[in-house]
Amino acid sequence: MLYHDLVRFETELWAGVDARLRSDCDLQLTWFEIMQLLRHREGQRVQDVAEEFVITVGGASKVIDRIEKAGFCRRVPNPHDRRSALIVLTSAGTTKVDDAAPVFEDELAQRFSSVLGPAELDRMATGLRLLRSATDVADRSASA
């Protein structure tokens, strides 16, 4: 039952946040997440984005291509490795993600803080971090 509830909640959460970002900001959640990463960690490679979101490099590259085509990011030469490029937000991308961040936070607050108190949210976050960490360790062990 826990698995079912967790998966259904994730699906409903994603759909709700995505709908809110699309309606209020004309920005899909997938783009927002990547743009938010680029906003907070400059100079990411496609490989870095793929690793952060646990997706394929090809999938990350396709999404970044679309974000770039929309004018929200661009690829620049990597000064440390000529074989790769770094992805940076454009000024339009920075403005877009900065405008969308409060909408994102408000939607999360409506879905979480309106139901759970601070102590419950802290326990939930700690539990999820522990589970993700254990999964990361298990995945690394299996691939070694």
Specify the pTM.
0.87
Mark 54-91 as b/e (b = at least 16 C-beta within 10 Å). Answer: ebeeeebbebbeebeeeebbeeeeeeeeeeeebbbbee
Domains annotated for the chain, with CATH where assigned, are 2-111 (1.10.10.10)
What does the pLDDT look like over 56-89, one tens digit per residue?
Answer: 999 999 999 999 999 999 999 999 888 889 999 9
What does the pLDDT look like over 120-138, one tens digit per residue?
Answer: 999 999 999 998 888 776 6
